Structure 1
Amino acid sequence: MTTAQTAVSASTTADRLLDGLASSIADRGYRETTVADVVRQARTSKRTFYEQFASKEACLIELLRRNNADLIASINATVDADADWQAQIRQAVGAYVDHIGARPAITLCWIREAPALGAVARPLHRRVMRDLTDMLVALTSSDGFRRAGLDPIAPSIALILLGGLRELTALFVEDGRDIHGIAEPAVTAATALLGPH
């Protein structure tokens, strides 16, 4: 097997394990999930798991890192930088809601479970919040916002907006409510923070 084939095989194995963890989280929740559950879902062995990840926590951190990277990519792909600034807000919120709706248990795990991991998860949390903040700054630097005479959002304000959105998201998922119910409050809050003052 060539080096490239080995890398693809390892990547495919890691992907299956991450999917296995995601499935088990959706079924049982993260705390109740064991490595045995993950490998059963992935149809592989514990030995294979530990060849890819040092621990269940390491597997979770990679799952959450990828999930949040996918969220950012989805929002960036959906928002039309030339559209009116208010339309861009609706597009971004719509992409966020669609992403959360597809994997609510993973989002809830990121918001509620990952902080409980302590120092091991702190770099992930800081990186994700920085990446999301940078995304909001970039989105509000677009032509649609500039045409309206609006300045890009300050990183500290972006962080406040994201923190509120995370908590609202967690409450909706925990209560089993339709995640689409966060869309209008999110649009209203974003419009108030990003719009003319």
Structure 2
Amino acid sequence: MVETDKPKQHRSRVLEGMAHAVSQKGYGDTTIADIVREASVSRRTFYEHFSSKAECLVALYEAASHNSLKVLRDAIDPAHEWQTQVERALAAYLGSMQANPVLVRTLFIEILHLGPEGLAARRRVNSVVADFILSMVNGSKGPKSHVLSSGMATAIVGGINELVLEYIEQDKVKYLDELVQPASDLVHAITRT
């Protein structure tokens, strides 16, 4: 391993440690000691990367959300009309969350324990996803029945998030793939395709 890779590797380990600790104890009961134990790093290493437990949770949320968006982007082939790829893209997106149940709770519930800071992080991430949807729908080469507004793209994100949240609350994360069809129906209904 190259010496310059160590800080990046340590940061990743701290984020993984945070995910595991929060999944076991919830954010409120998780301590820095729990995080560093799960990450197999020192407290000093933790504080080299994050000034607080809250900052670490926001970083985990943003990193996991970035990875989920990458899965969604990678599932879309720009050579084809987006309308024909909705189900495949949502299956990949929901499947990536289903495969990482430790992160799902963090992404949808624990981030809210941070109050305004958590809501701001959630809003930033949702805005990036909504912008991706806008670019796919309004920038596509295929037929358009109308231009999708920013508010309606946000509504798509919010609707899909609520479907996922319901499954989390019902302890059905391992069945997130069941949401592909209702989420696809929502996208098609709002985009009128």
**TM-score with structure 2 setting the length:** 0.88
Match of 1:114?
111
Cα distance change on mapping 1:31 and 1:102 into 2, 3 Å: farther
8 Å contact 2:75–2:92 — kept in the other structure? Answer: yes
8 Å contact 1:14–1:52 — kept in the other structure? Answer: yes
Residue by residue over 1:130-155, the C-alpha shift from the partner in whole angstroms, topping out at 9 and shown as x without a partner, is: 10111101121354xx3223444211
Identical residues among aligned pairs (%): 27
Matches within 5 A, 1:1-197: 5-6=3-4, 8-143=5-140, 146-177=141-172, 178-196=175-193
Unmatched runs of 5 consecutive residues or more in structure 1: none
- Provide the aligned C-alpha RMSD in A: 1.9
**Deviation (angstroms), 1:5:** 3.6
Q: Structure 2: which amino acid aligns with 1:107?
A: V
Hey, what's the Cα distance between the residues in 1 that align with 2:22 and 2:87? 30
Cα distance change on mapping 1:32 and 1:93 into 2, 3 Å: same
**Deviation (angstroms), 1:122:** 3.7
Unmatched runs of 5 consecutive residues or more in structure 2: none
**Deviation (angstroms), 1:87:** 2.2
**TM-score with structure 1 setting the length:** 0.87
8 Å contact 2:27–2:113 — kept in the other structure? Answer: no
Cα distance change on mapping 1:26 and 1:118 into 2, 3 Å: closer
Q: Structure 2: which amino acid aligns with 1:163?
A: G
Q: Structure 1: which amino acid aligns with 2:64?
A: N
Cα distance change on mapping 1:46 and 1:161 into 2, 3 Å: same
Q: How many residues in Structure 1 have an aligned counterpart in Structure 2? A: 190
Q: Structure 2: which amino acid aligns with 1:100?
A: M
